[in-house]
Amino acid sequence: MFRVLDIKNKIHLAFVAIVSMALIAILMALPTMLLWNWLMPVIFGLVKISFWQAIGLNLLTDIFFK
């Protein structure tokens, strides 16, 4: 009986962790995208980025600087 509850708790914890990571990625990508699209095209003449590119940029900077 306890093993069933443990498995359900682990599945619930994994689900909460995945949803939390997705929400954090969204909350971090939106300001990145907005700031990039506001500053970089005007200052440096770079192109605007999409939301998914902002998520990729956050992941890339996380890899480089952590």
Instruction: Please tell me whether residue 26 adopts helix, strand or coil conformation.
Output: helix
Kindly report whether the global pTM for this prediction surpasses the value 0.85.
no
Q: Give Cβ neighbours of residue 57 (< 8 Å, ≥ 6 apart).
A: 32, 36, 49
Q: Give Cβ neighbours of residue 29 (< 8 Å, ≥ 6 apart).
A: 51, 54, 55, 58
Exposed / middle / buried, residue 54 (Cβ in 10 Å: 0-12, 13-18, 19+): buried
Quick: pLDDT tens for 6-58. 888 889 999 999 999 999 999 999 999 999 999 999 999 999 999 999 999 99
Q: Where are the domains of the chain?
A: 2-65
